[in-house]
């Protein structure tokens, strides 16, 4: 999965659909049409949500509306299969791993909020072929702990760590892309999960050799929910995908000598002008 010559592109739909399955399928369709390799969602149950400030500021009601039942997960996975785009989701609770792995054991995402959850990571490594781990708001000591865990399990080639800055949206001056180089000293596969508005951060991350680029994706930035406001639109996803494809072509090594299609210039245009 991570051996592609160009970065894999994840359209993070997350909960931008707000529980509307028709909208969720439209988002999947547009993600596929505009070059994404994965359509990604988020898996949680409000029944597992602890008490907190979200009980008073309206977030719990939003979570209730946006949560996906197992039946809805299955419908979205089937639709992804139908139009040939990979289904992916972020998991927040180890109790969801069993049924999610039965739905698809290809890949799972550990979101930044759960990077401290070693049990969740261990179980994910057992149940899924590939594990993607986002590193937003993580202490470096926590990342080194994950490195030791992955080294012990000998699954470096099956894991990708994503550089991430957990603020929504993230200013370009805070994107901290050089941190990718630090991650690459510890992990075989490193990618980028970007929260900046637009696609410039995704494009810039390519120079660091990212295996994955993940960007929040929506059809309309005026839809309800925080994430829709800074998510990229279909035409931006298409531009990012096109750039990835173009830079991949430009990186092909054509050798040191002139190429065959340069022969006309070599033979017919050199020496046309008299020298003084």
pLDDT, residue 57, reads: 84
Residue boundaries of the structural domains of the chain: 8-268
Assess contact for 159 and 211: CB atoms under 8 A.
no
Which fold, 8-268? Answer: TIM Barrel (3.20.20)
- Tokens 């809805």 correspond to 72
What pLDDT sits at residue 178? 98
pLDDT in tens, 170-183: 999 999 999 999 99
- Predicted confidence at residue 214, as pLDDT, reads 98
Q: Tell me how far CA of residue 55 lies from CA of 21, 114, 248, in angstroms.
A: 25, 21, 47
pLDDT reported for residue 3: 82
pLDDT of residue 48: 87
Element housing 86 (H / E)? strand 86-91
Q: Which pLDDT does position 275 carry in this prediction? A: 82
Q: How far is CA 21 from the centre of its chain?
A: 21
The pLDDT, as a whole number, for residue 58 is 81
pLDDT in tens, 106-115: 999 999 999 9
Residue 55: the pLDDT is 86
pLDDT at 231: 97
pLDDT along the chain (276 residues), means of 10: 91 96 98 98 91 86 91 98 98 96 98 96 98 97 97 95 96 98 97 97 97 98 90 98 95 94 94 85
């Amino acid at each position: 999965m991570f051996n592609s010559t160009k970065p894999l592109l994840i359209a993070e739909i997350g909960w931008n659909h707000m529980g509307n399955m028709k909208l969720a399928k439209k988002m999947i369709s547009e993600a596929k049409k505009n070059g994404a390799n994965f359509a990604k969602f988020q898996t949680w149950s409000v029944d597992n949500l602890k008490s907190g400030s979200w009980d008073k500021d309206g977030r719990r009601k939003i979570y209730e509306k946006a949560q996906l039942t197992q039946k809805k997960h299955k419908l979205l996975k089937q639709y992804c299969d139908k139009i040939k785009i990979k289904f992916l989701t972020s998991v927040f609770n180890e109790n969801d791993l069993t049924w999610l792995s039965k739905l698809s054991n290809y890949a799972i995402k550990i979101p930044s909020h759960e990077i401290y959850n070693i049990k969740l990571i261990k179980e994910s490594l057992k149940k899924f072929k590939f594990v993607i781990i986002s590193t937003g708001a993580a202490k470096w000591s926590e990342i080194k702990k994950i490195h030791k865990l992955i080294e012990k399990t000998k699954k470096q080639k099956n894991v990708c760590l994503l550089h991430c800055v957990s603020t929504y949206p993230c200013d370009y001056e805070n994107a901290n892309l050089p941190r990718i180089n630090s991650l690459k000293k510890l992990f075989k596969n490193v990618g980028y999960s970007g929260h900046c508005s637009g696609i410039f951060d995704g494009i810039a991350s390519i120079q660091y050799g990212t295996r994955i680029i993940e960007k929040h994706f929506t059809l309309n930035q005026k839809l309800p929910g925080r994430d829709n406001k800074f998510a990229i639109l279909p035409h931006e996803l298409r531009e990012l995908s096109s750039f990835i494809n173009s830079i991949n072509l430009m990186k092909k090594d054509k050798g040191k000598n002139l190429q065959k299609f340069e022969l006309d210039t070599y033979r017919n245009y050199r020496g046309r002008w008299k020298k003084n």
